[in-house]
Amino acid sequence: MTKNLLPEDDAESLRFENELLKIKLRAELGAKDVGNFPTHEVPPEVENEFLKTFEKVELFLRSAESHEEVSVYEFAGRPVYLSEKDLSDEQISTELNRLIELLIEKKNAFTVLSKISDRLIYKFVTEDLFKALTLKVPIPGMTTHFIYEEFQPINEYDTRRTCEDFMEAFFKNDFEGRGQFLPRELIRNLADLNNFFHSFENFRNLKYEVLDTDVTSTECVRTAKVSFDAFISSGVEPIHFAGEATFQMEYVDDDWVVISAMFPGMQE
């Protein structure tokens, strides 16, 4: 439980103020459930801050200016920047950090889940993010957040996750059971995978690491370091496999799919 650091009289004063704020918000803004926390042990100073922020946001959202939008580039003050083609790798990193700091100052931020180069991130910021719309007048106390993958469906993160899901299904004996999630009809070497899968009773001790790469087109090849133990039957020493796995992938119907996979131990 959070310890209340306020003197008792100040705490009681805040609780009284909080109750008045709740009545005001319910009467003026129709916020019937505001302040109904799952526990009654929320410190009064925390609740007070929440209620005041809630009021500011609600009033802003009801104002006309809350609907006005401008490009992120305009909102950031039209910063000067160079094309990524005109910058060296070292310059790219420096310029990227400069633009990130500028955007954060303007209460705009972005997240990149993909493991990609600074050059690709810089290209995203200057060619995609700068064109995105943001509120002309930001919500008080809030930061507008963008996600790279929502702009770029052709990305490293989604291909990596697809490879990881494929390996989890295959080596944890759920390759056939997850058919609805793995479009098996698109896998060109499905027969080879099935033969390898059914050659063993089960697999254990799976370890893998999908190696980094930039993904810029609707077709790609991902590689991974992988190791696992394959059990032919109980009581028999397992066969240990380790090496490189390869995945040929395509972007189909707004999703990445594995169209061919090779694991250590399979015949090329």
Last residue of a domain, one of 92, 116, 151: 151
Tokens (6 digits) for 52: 């005041």
Q: Is the pLDDT of residue 39 over 80?
A: no
- Whether residue 204 contacts residue 229, with contact meaning beta carbons closer than 8 Å, is answered with yes
Last residue of a domain, one of 118, 133, 151: 151
Q: What's the CA dihedral at 146, 117, 85, 123 to 10 degrees?
A: -10
CA distance 132 to 120: 17
Tokens (6 digits) for 38: 């799952």
Share of the chain above pLDDT 90, in %: 51
Number of domains in the chain: 3
234 vs 110 pLDDT, higher one = 110
Q: Is the pLDDT of residue 178 over 80?
A: no
Same domain membership, residue 95 and residue 49: no
pLDDT digits (tens, 9 = 90+) for 69-83: 899 999 999 999 999
Residue 3 inside a domain? The answer is no
Same domain membership, residue 254 and residue 162: yes
Give the model's confidence band at 6: pLDDT under 50 very low, under 70 low, under 90 confident, else very high.
Answer: very low
Q: What is the pLDDT of residue 57?
A: 67
- Considering Cα of 82, then 88, then 93, then 94, what sign does the dihedral take? negative
pLDDT digits (tens, 9 = 90+) for 181-208: 567 788 999 999 989 999 999 999 999 9
Number of H helices, E strands in the chain: 8, 8
Q: What is the pLDDT of residue 67?
A: 66
Q: Is the pLDDT of residue 37 over 80?
A: no
Give every strand in the sheet of 255-262, ordered side by side.
Answer: 202-210, 219-231, 239-252, 255-262
Last residue of a domain, one of 124, 151, 178: 151
- Other residues' Cβ atoms within 10 Å of the Cβ of residue 233: 8
Domain interval for residue 17: 8-62
Same domain membership, residue 170 and residue 258: yes
- Considering Cα of 181, then 186, then 189, then 195, what sign does the dihedral take? positive
Q: What is the average pLDDT value for the chain, to the nearest integer?
A: 84
Q: Is the pLDDT of residue 30 over 90?
A: no
47 vs 9 pLDDT, higher one = 47
Q: What is the pLDDT of residue 137?
A: 75
> Which alpha helices (DSSP H) does 35-179 contain, by range?
44-61, 72-75, 89-105, 118-127, 148-151, 156-171
- Whether residue 239 contacts residue 196, with contact meaning beta carbons closer than 8 Å, is answered with no
